[in-house]
């Protein structure tokens, strides 16, 4: 794939210049493609390779994002058209190349060009690994080999819809605690920045003798007020740096995932999410005809949690040593005992994919229930933390006032 700077006269007679990404490096092929669109082409000059990569990264970063919902819908439309008897080229052109999402539309046009040039659909989409996951690539490859492309693309689309629903449920579940505790922090900052200094001024003017807790609260308030820009700037910098390091540094990412898996409420959401993710992927791959080892390899490249990824590698190592599926999962401690028993039943009866589908559905139901009731689960913790902080502030600020009133009454 290369970027070309073109200069042409379009169908309406307007002269245009710009950049276009095409799946070939030859300027002659680029000019031929542009001419097939009804243009009079004056030039098509390829950009240097390094500059082309930079342009591609900028477009990927700043371009319109492709949601899983949009991609799943596009793939499902391709499957429907193929099942109806339309040629692959027509299905790709109508469902993806002419999509409302500009980024997906551009990728669709590039895929169409690659297929027109003689590439298989699998080879045509391999260059878009950031869009099409490993399991989608495998299902499309399987469909091309078996002549059931409509069914395998439909399976891939349905799988993406399920995973998108699971991820949205997790984000929704984690968003509520973040908002609640964020509001507690904002309320505390308001008290320390606005209320405490006013009360401290009254204490100072009246020469009140302050208890240790009150002095501590006033000192904290002074630190916040005197260093507010640096304080909030440091918080933002630390959060951004931590986010960047977590994304790029695997050991840091594993530490963060380990911590999150130990937080109250959050750990339950993440355990259900990762267990649903694993069972859904494995069920899809095994149903499609892939062996368990290859399924785990594909799963390992897409599993988002480093702790569970390491556990799946333990499962893979056990399987390579000849240990059974049930015993391998049991040793890695990924699932609770009743799930391990179901995996064992599936292994013995040859219905492992069916058991995994059932387990995945069970975890999705649990996750949906938790999302619906996350407010009730977080209320005791939020009330405990927020109430405890408020009581501490109340005692710190009102104890000296009570002492002053007592002294005045004497």
Query: What would the pLDDT profile of 358-372 be if each residue is shown by its tens digit?
Result: 888 888 888 888 777
Mean pLDDT of 228-241: 81
For the cut 80, the answer to whether the pLDDT of residue 112 exceeds it is yes
Going by pLDDT thresholds of 50, 70 and 90, the confidence category of residue 60 is low
Going by pLDDT thresholds of 50, 70 and 90, the confidence category of residue 314 is very high
For the cut 60, the answer to whether the pLDDT of residue 345 exceeds it is yes
Predicted TM-score (pTM) of this structure: 0.69
Q: Write down all domains in the chain, each with its CATH number in brackets.
A: 2-62 (no CATH), 68-161 (1.20.81.30), 266-372 (1.20.81.30)
The Cα–Cα gap between 391 and 401 comes to 15
What pLDDT does 62 receive?
67
Contact assessment for residue 308 and residue 274, using Cβ atoms and an 8 Å cutoff? yes
Let me know if 6 is exposed, middle or buried by CB neighbors in 10 A (0-12, 13-18, 19+): buried
For the cut 80, the answer to whether the pLDDT of residue 354 exceeds it is yes
SS (H, E, C) the chain: CEEEEEEEECCCCCEEEEEEEECCCCHHHHHHHHHHCCCEEEEEEECCHHHHHHHHHHHHHHCCCCCHHHHHHHHHHHHHHHHCCCCHHHHHHHHHHCCCCHHHHHHHHHHHHHHHCCCCHHHHHHHHCCCCCHHHHHHHHHHHHHCCHHHHHHHHHHHHHHHHHHHHHHHHHHHHHHHHHHHHHHHHHHHHHHHHHHHHHHHHHCCCCCCHHHHHHHHHHHHHHHCHHHHHHHHHHHHHHHHHHHHHCHHHHHHHHHHHCCCCCHHHHHHHHHHHHHHHHHHHHHHCCCCHHHHHHHHHHHCCCHHHHHHHHHHHHHHHCCCCHHHHHHHHCCCCHHHHHHHHHHHHHCCHHHHHHHHHHHHHHHHHHHHHCHHHHHHHHHHHHHHHHHHHHHHHHHHHHHHHHHHHHC
Going by pLDDT thresholds of 50, 70 and 90, the confidence category of residue 222 is confident
Residue identified by tokens 């028993």 is 341
Considering the chain, what is the average pLDDT of its residues? 83
* Range scoring the smallest mean pLDDT among 152-161, 230-239, 347-356: 230-239
Mean pLDDT of 97-109: 87
What pLDDT does 1 receive?
67
The Cα–Cα gap between 288 and 175 comes to 35
């Amino acid at each position: 794939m290369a970027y070309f700077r073109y200069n042409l006269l379009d169908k309406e007679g307007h002269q245009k210049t710009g950049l276009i990404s095409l799946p070939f490096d030859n300027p002659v092929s680029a000019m031929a493609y542009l001419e097939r669109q009804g243009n009079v082409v004056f030039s098509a000059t390829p950009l240097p390779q390094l500059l082309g990569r930079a342009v591609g990264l900028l477009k990927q970063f700043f371009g319109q994002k492709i949601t899983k919902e949009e991609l799943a819908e596009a793939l499902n439309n391709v499957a429907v058209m193929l099942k109806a008897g339309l040629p692959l080229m027509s299905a790709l052109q109508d469902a993806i190349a002419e999509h409302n999402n500009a980024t997906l539309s551009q990728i669709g046009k590039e895929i169409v060009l690659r297929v027109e040039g003689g590439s298989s659909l699998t080879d045509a989409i391999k260059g878009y690994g950031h869009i099409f996951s490993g399991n989608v690539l495998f299902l499309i490859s399987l469909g091309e080999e078996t002549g059931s492309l409509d069914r395998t693309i439909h399976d891939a689309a349905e799988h993406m819809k399920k995973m998108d629903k699971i991820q949205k449920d997790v984000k929704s579940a984690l968003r509520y605690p973040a908002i609640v505790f964020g509001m507690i922090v904002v309320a505390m900052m308001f008290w320390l920045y606005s209320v405490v200094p006013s009360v401290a001024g009254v204490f100072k003017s009246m020469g009140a003798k302050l208890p240790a807790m009150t002095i501590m609260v006033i000192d904290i308030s002074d630190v916040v007020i005197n260093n507010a820009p640096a304080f909030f700037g440091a918080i933002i910098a630390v959060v951004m740096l931590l986010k960047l390091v977590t994304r790029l540094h695997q050991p840091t990412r594993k530490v963060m995932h380990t911590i999150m898996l130990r937080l109250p409420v959050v750990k339950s959401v993440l355990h259900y999410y990762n267990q649903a993710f694993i069972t859904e992927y494995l069920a899809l791959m095994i149903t499609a005809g892939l062996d368990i080892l290859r399924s785990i390899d594909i799963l390992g490249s897409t599993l988002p949690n480093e702790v569970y990824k390491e556990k799946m590698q333990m499962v893979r190592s056990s399987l390579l040593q000849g240990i059974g599926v049930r015993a391998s999962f049991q040793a890695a401690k990924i699932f609770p005992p009743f799930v391990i028993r179901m995996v064992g039943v599936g292994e013995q009866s040859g219905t492992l994919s069916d058991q995994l589908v059932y387990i995945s559905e069970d975890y999705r139901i649990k996750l949906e229930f938790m999302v619906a009731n996350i407010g009730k689960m977080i209320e005791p913790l939020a009330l405990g933390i927020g109430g405890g902080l408020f009581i501490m502030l109340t005692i710190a600020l009102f104890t000296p006032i009570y002492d002053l009133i007592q002294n005045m009454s004497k």
